[in-house]
Every structure is written in C-alpha cells, then in structure tokens.
Amino acid sequence: MKTIETQNYTWLYFEKPSEDELAVLQKKFNLHPVVLEEFTTPTYRPQIDRHKNYLFLVLHFPIFNEDKRTTEVGEVDIIVNEKYLATSCNRYQDSIFHYFEEKKKKSGQTSKMPSDSYLLLFKIIEILLNSCFPKLDHIAHNLNKIEERIFQNQEKKMVKEISIVKRDILNFRRTIKPQRTILESLGWEKRFKDNPNYKTRVNNVIGANIRVWNVLENHKETIDSLEATNDSLSSYKLNSIMKILTVFSVIFLPATLTASLFGMNVVVPLANFWEIMGITIGFMLLMLAFAKIKRWI
C-alpha cells in the first residue's frame, strides 16, 4: 500500500493488497464484509454502492493485450469518504500509476492535489476515461491500414485483420457501455447534486464517457463498412473468375463434343475428319468472337 497525505484527506493506493493492508482498510472505512471481498476479487459488472460512511465504486476500463491483439477488461475499485480515498486495480493501469507517482514526488506541494477526496475521485475517473483515447487512436490507425490494403488488392489477407479489429471494438464496447449509467448516477448523489463544483466535475466525467462512446461508435460503423466493401470486392473478383471460366467452357464446348464423338470408336474417313475439325474450330472462333462482342472476356 502506498499513500499520499494532504491536509484534508489521504489517498491509499493498492496494487495487490495483502491481509494486513486490508485490515488497515477495514479499520479506516469500517467496511461491510461484502465490500471488502469485492475490493479484492474481480467483479464482472460495474457498480456503485452507497453506504452510510462511504461510497464504493467498481469501474471497468479497457486494457490492450499486445500478444493477443485484443482489448481486455481492467477493473478499478474505489472507496471514498471525506477523509480517505482508496483505489485498487486488478490489472496495471498506467494512467493512474503515473498520476499517483507524479503527485507522490510533489507530495509537499499539496496545492497541486485536488482540494478534497471527492474531487480526487472525479479526477481519477476522468484520467481513466481520457486514457481510452490513445487506445481508440490505435484502432483508428488499424482501420486506416485496412482501408489502404483493401484497395491494394489484398482482400483475402484483410478478412482476418478485419475480424481482429472487430473483436477489439466489440470488447471495448462491452467494457465501456455498462458503466454509463453508473457515472450518470453520481450526479444524483445528494452530496454532489447540491454542490455546483461537484456537479461540474460530474458533468465533465459524463462528457468524457460520451466522447469515448461516440468515437467507439464511429469506429464500429467504419469497420462494418470496410467489411462490407471487402466482401463486395472479393465477391466481384470471384464472380469475374467464374464468368471467365464459364465463357471458356462454352467456347471449348464444340471441341469437347467432337472429342466425345471420336471417343466412341467411330471410324471417320480422313477427309471427313478434317472437315469436322474445321467446323469445330470455326464454331470455337465464332463463340470467341461473340464473347468479345458482348465483352464477356
């Protein structure tokens, strides 16, 4: 457990809380046993619990797994009252870690910290939401690469790339969407609703969440359009190949018929043989000319 102490409150930063650290947490907040358990175990949905002496929040934010090339869920648990704010991340959240370390180095300059624990709560949530934008920029970069390669005749290779990016966007949406109501419900907290300063911070948090969601929706529409374009180009090329094969099959139909007749042990005089071959070749040339006129090939 790491701490930053200011004149008005203390920030308790947990990475992997031990039993002794949890005992300290229990003593400072007088936590309900269920809250204490949820603080240390993964929760599959965001939530906000209102207790007499504190608020308990479970929030989810995306973390990009470079090895698997997909977005995974990172959980942030927050307990806050007037004197303390405790945070715990089940997976490394670099934005919060860097913010904490920066303030830790300047702990003597308490004016650089938010003036109370609730303002720090909104600051942390806003930092986490803003950390989503570089990940969204990474998705946008992948979308631009896919678009370029689709029109460079690499449709087959792009099928897998499109699937990977679609999975990334889907996991991102599953992480962000459920907690919109949680963030909006903060505005209905009496302690925040009656204070204009808090109300402004809540609106900033909700606005940041909406901006993330709007960019995410735009990425979803883009990848759907790119997938449809890629499928259309692939289908067009496949149809062109099938058309050419069909045309050549029709052109060589007279030769195929002639070969079948000679395969039936039919004895044909040499003069008649050359006549039949000439007629066959003539029909083939006629069909080839017809296909050229119709622009089938």
What pLDDT is stored for residue 90 in this prediction? 80
**291 or 102, which is more confident?**
102
Q: Is 210 among the domain residues?
A: yes
Q: For residue 206, what is the domain's CATH number?
A: 3.30.460.20
CA dist 106 → 5, 6, 21, 84, 202 (Å):
11, 11, 24, 19, 26
Question: How many domains are contained in the chain?
Answer: 2
Q: Tell me the DSSP string of 74-131.
A: EEEEEEE-SSEEEEEESS--HHHHHHHHHHHHTTT-GGGS-SSHHHHHHHHHHHHHHT
Checking if the pLDDT of 215 tops 90, the result is yes
Q: Strands 70-80, 84-89: parallel, antiparallel or unpaired by DSSP? A: antiparallel
Polymer length in residues for the chain: 297
Q: How far is CA 80 from CA 17, 58, 69, 128, 136, in A?
A: 17, 12, 35, 17, 30
What's the mean per-residue pLDDT of the chain? 84
Phi/psi class of residue 234: alpha, beta or left (left: φ > 0; alpha: ψ in -120 to 50)?
alpha
The range of the structural domain enclosing residue 277 comes to: 252-293
Q: Residue 12: inside a domain, yes or no? A: yes
Residue 91's pLDDT is 79
Q: Are residues 225 and 278 in the same domain?
A: no
* Percent of the chain whose predicted confidence (pLDDT) is above 70: 90
| One domain, residues 195 and 103 | yes
Residues 104 and 164 in one domain: yes
Query: How much is the average pLDDT of 105-134?
Result: 84
Same domain, 155 and 282: no
Q: Is 243 a domain residue?
A: no
Q: How far is the C-alpha of 89 from the C-alpha of 13, rounded, in Å?
A: 9
As a whole number of angstroms, the longest Cα–Cα distance in the chain is: 115
Provide the edge-to-edge strand list for the sheet that holds 55-65. Answer: 2-5, 10-14, 84-89, 70-80, 55-65, 47-50
What is the rounded CA–CA span in Å between residue 190 and residue 127?
A: 24
Q: What is the mean pLDDT of residues 58-87?
A: 89
Closest CA to 214 of 95, 273, 153, 133: 133
Q: Is there a single domain that holds both residue 194 and residue 271?
A: no
Torsion of CA 181, 185, 186, 190, to 10 degrees: 180
pLDDT digits (tens, 9 = 90+) for 155-210: 888 999 999 999 999 999 999 998 888 888 888 887 787 788 888 898 999 999 99
pLDDT above 90: residue 281: no
Q: Write a three-state SS string for 198-243.
A: HHHHHHHHHHHHHHHHHHHHHHHHHHHHHHHHHHHHHHHHHHHHHH
In a domain, 207, yes or no: yes
Express each pLDDT in 221-254 by its tens digit.
999 999 999 988 888 787 777 777 777 777 777 7
Residues 23 and 92 in one domain: yes
